[in-house]
Amino acid sequence: MSEIGASVSSAPARQDPGRPRTFLRRGLTIAFGLVLAATAVLGTTPAPASAAPVPGSVTQCNGIQNVGGEGIECDVTVTNTLDVSTGVSSSTIVVRTCTGAANDAVLCTVLPTSFPTATTVVDQCNGSGNGGGGTVVCRVTVVNNIIGDTTLATATVNQCGDSAGDGGGDPALNCAPVQLTTSATITQCNSSGRGGGTPGRVTCTVAPSTASTALPVSITQCIGSANGGGAFVTCSASLTHNVYPAGTAVPPVGTPTPTPTSGPTTPPATTPPSTTPPATTPPTSSTPTPTPTPTSPVSPLLPVPPGGGTGNGGELAATGTDALPVFLVAGGALLIGGILVAIMLLRRRSDRSDARTAPAQRPTPLG
């Protein structure tokens, strides 16, 4: 009897593809989650709570018109608003700069602007008009609207020190008040008008002014100016406060200035009721400043708040968060996801090619 045997050639056992595919799917899920997390960080990271806005400043009419017979006339009007409870502040500024001949500075520029923070420094008309017969006329008016509690005190003054020397008509000084307080709120007309000349060549006044602890302001003007022979310097400053209860809506910015001048203007307006039309027309026509040609060689206003502009190039514009680590995380997640996708596609292609090339395995009879 012959033995009949059967031999079967078996192909090597193939690995179960389920495990690597599960690993790839998990890897893709993790990479996708990292991308979503990076996107969320980019879009929702808040600004640091300690980043407070920096106050602004106005600087103009310094070191100009120092040739004999030249004159300047410069004005700054600032209206600040501060909410003590929130710390949010803003300001509206109007500057006027006029240059030309002495006593005839008709080339004027008027520039109104608004500012996202309070303007706390005014610096103008220093070291200017030092030629013979020069004239310097400068004014600063600051009104602080404060919402909430604050402490007010009389503003300190330092003016007319070491001024009006070298002889000439007396009295050369016409200053009110005459105070020499160190680190004063208002400093003006020091070391000025020293070239000699007629009486009253240094006329400087500070209107009754107040200072607040919540919004300190510094005014410096007419220092070292009008020192030529026969030169004149006339400067004035005013700093007033309007304090409102917490939660009060601030009045329109266009009408904050009545407080310093409310006393003088009220009687003429109330006494002649019949002459109200003629009385109202002169104030409206008393603004000849915008009419002159606005082509002045002097740059009138540079209200630059340190750090209050567009931000650093390496920071996110809205949040102030450093963008580099976030972009590195997002880029790394995308790279890992791409590698995992490529591996998965290669394994699928390899499995398909193996399935096509593998021969059908059947029993082979022997004998």
| Per-residue pLDDT reduced to its tens digit, 283-302 | 444 444 443 333 333 444 44
Mean pLDDT, residues 217-236 taken together? 96
Q: Could you report the per-residue pLDDT of 169-192, keeping only the tens digit for each?
A: 678 899 999 899 999 999 999 999
What average pLDDT does this structure show over 130-157?
97
Q: What is the pTM of this model?
A: 0.58
- Nearest CA among 256, 58, 54 for reference residue 144: 256
CA atoms within 13 A on the CB side of 167: 1
What is the percent of the chain with per-residue pLDDT over 90, rounded to a whole number?
47
Q: What per-residue confidence (pLDDT) applies to 303?
A: 41
Report pLDDT for 293: 39
CA atoms within 13 A on the CB side of 150: 25
CA 15/CA 329 separation, integer angstroms: 35
Does residue 290 have a cis bond before it (omega within 30 degrees)?
no
Select from 124, 140, 142 the least CA-distant residue to 211: 142
Q: Residue 250: pLDDT band by 50, 70, 90 thresholds? A: confident
Closest CA to 120 of 80, 75, 88, 62: 80
d(CA 323, CA 326): 5
Whole-number Å distance between alpha carbons of 105 and 136: 10
pLDDT digits (tens, 9 = 90+) for 108-126: 999 999 999 999 999 999 9
Across all residues in the chain, what is the average pLDDT? 74
pLDDT digits (tens, 9 = 90+) for 230-243: 999 999 999 999 99
- In the chain, where the domains are located: 56-257
Strand ranges (E), 294-366: 364-365
Residue type for position 149? D
Q: Is the pLDDT of residue 3 over 70?
A: no
pLDDT higher than 90, residue 89: yes
Task: Please name the helix (run of DSSP H) or strand (run of DSSP E) that holds residue 168, with its range, or none.
Answer: none
Query: pLDDT: is 133 or 315 the higher one?
Result: 133
For residue 349, which amino acid is it? R
Alpha-carbon torsion angle 331, 332, 334, 336, nearest 10: 160
Distance from C-alpha of 360 to C-alpha of 325, rounded to nearest angstrom: 55
